[in-house]
Amino acid sequence: MTDQETVTDETDSDTTIAPKNYDITSYGADYDVEGCVKRLNRGDIFIPPFQRDYVWNIKDASRFIESLLFGLPVPGVFLAKEPGTNKLLVIDGQQRLKTLKYYFDGIFNPNKEEKTHRVFKLYGVQEKYEGKTYSDLDESDRVNLNDTIIHATIIKQESPDGDDTSIYHVFERLNSGGRKLTAQEIRSALYHGKLIDLINELNSYADWREIFGKPHKRLKDVELILRFLAIHISGELYKKPMNEFLNRFTANHKNATDALLLDFEVLFKNTISLIFESIGKGAFKLERGINAAVFDSVMSGVATRIHKGPINDSDSFASCYKKLLENDSFIKAVSQSTSDDTNVSLRIKIAQEAFEKAK
């Protein structure tokens, strides 16, 4: 079974645009190349995880450096100012910025797992620069490169205050090169923090891995955990589209308190363990693969029941689960228009009522 077959989620093809107006400010800033590299090394400018891999080869990278040495114009970069820290997150331009860092460091596209690294010598450029590392450049060329300007467009969401979700949409539209990032890959990059760290840890939980199978290469398993937490904790605030709802929840809980994160951890582990022990690996599946709408509603229904007291009878629990999947209204709500507000609230309500009877 491929990654694409592991999960059935109608919301993946939902193109609904969130009905929201953003107030975004942007301004230009000119950084010299040496200053860019220093900021990257300090983390003042940072490239979030899960951005697409560095894909330039040595010739691509060399020609970019050569363009700077020649004084030729190069495309600018897009950065987003992170609320609270004022650090600048790279929205577009990571290939160029990483190339600068690699050249100044003297190593091309280093891999921590490899014992040897390729020295970054310019290749496929004019004879004057061919084979030269940064330290090999003539002093005048090195100074010229250091002082070359990289233009940056810096964006910041002014309103609505608090969720910073506009940056997601900017990121999604600008990062169209190469492999298109999934919603969760973008989310994990932009809203990195304690919540994302916790969800990544929960994704390794043994009972969850038994149900889901091998880790999903595009983070769909991570997204499902987030989806359960968001639906169960903030379901009353749900508005279509699902991705925007998950963005808001992640942004609002990005650096939640340790106490709240512990509650999230216990909530997920207790719920998924009960389901695995009673239903087994077939949980959340209607036909082939996990159905995301079945997952979020069953998980929320079971979590609500657990909150009222322990469930000790596995047969009683399994019977409730079986009857739920025989409920025509529930099946319709998890099979059609699954991100619609009415269907989300309906399937959660039906699931909660179904598991109320578990002993």
Predicted pLDDT at 181: 77
Task: Note if the bond before 160 is cis, omega within 30 degrees.
Answer: yes
Predicted pLDDT at 353: 97
φ, ψ (nearest 5 deg) of residue 108: -90, 120
Q: Is the pLDDT of residue 3 over 60?
A: no
What is the distance between the alpha carbons of residues 227 and 233, in angstroms, rounded to a whole number?
Answer: 10
Which residues are 79's β-sheet partners?
Answer: 90, 154
Per mean pLDDT, which range of 58-62, 184-188, 210-214 is the poorest? 184-188
Predicted pLDDT at 6: 79
**Greater confidence, 134 or 14?**
134
What is the distance between the alpha carbons of residues 133 and 120, in angstroms, rounded to a whole number?
Answer: 6
Predicted pLDDT at 4: 44
pLDDT, mean of residues 298-314: 94
pLDDT, mean of residues 75-104: 91
Token representation of residue 96: 């160029």
pLDDT band at 114 (very low <50, low <70, confident <90, very high): confident
**Greater confidence, 167 or 221?**
221
Q: What is each CA distance from 85 to 45, 47, 287, 354, in whole angstroms?
A: 11, 15, 46, 46
pLDDT, mean of residues 226-244: 96
Predicted pLDDT at 176: 55
Query: In 10 A of CB 129, how many CB atoms?
Result: 20
Contact 164, 83 (CB under 8 A): yes
Predicted pLDDT at 113: 75
pLDDT, mean of residues 101-129: 92
Give one DSSP letter per residue of 286-302, joined into a string: SSSSEEHHHHHHHHHHH
Mean pLDDT of the chain: 90
Contact 303, 265 (CB under 8 A): no
Q: Is the pLDDT of residue 172 over 50?
A: yes
Q: How far is CA 139 from the centre of its chain?
A: 43
Predicted pLDDT at 179: 59
pLDDT, mean of residues 15-25: 69
What is the distance between the alpha carbons of residues 96 and 289, in angstroms, rounded to a whole number?
Answer: 40
Q: Is 188 helix (H, G, I), strand (E, B) or coil?
A: helix
Token representation of residue 170: 């900017």
Predicted pLDDT at 18: 58
pLDDT, mean of residues 240-261: 95
Spatial neighbors of 343 by CB under 8 A, at least 6 apart, are 293, 333, 334, 336, 337
Q: Is the pLDDT of residue 55 over 90?
A: no
With pLDDT > 70 as the criterion, what percentage of the chain qualifies? Answer: 93
Per mean pLDDT, which range of 158-172, 209-223, 277-291 is the poorest? 158-172
Q: What is the DSSP letter of 213?
A: -
Q: Is the pLDDT of residue 293 over 60?
A: yes
Per mean pLDDT, which range of 7-11, 49-53, 273-277 is the poorest? 49-53
pLDDT, mean of residues 260-288: 96
Contact 202, 269 (CB under 8 A): yes
What ranges in the chain are assigned the alpha helix state H? 3-6, 33-42, 58-70, 94-105, 139-147, 166-174, 183-190, 194-202, 206-212, 220-234, 242-252, 258-279, 292-307, 314-324, 328-333, 341-355
pLDDT, mean of residues 240-252: 94
**Greater confidence, 121 or 14?**
121
pLDDT digits (tens, 9 = 90+) for 333-350: 999 999 999 999 999 999
Q: To which H or E segment does residue 81 belong?
A: strand 77-81
With pLDDT > 90 as the criterion, what percentage of the chain qualifies? Answer: 71
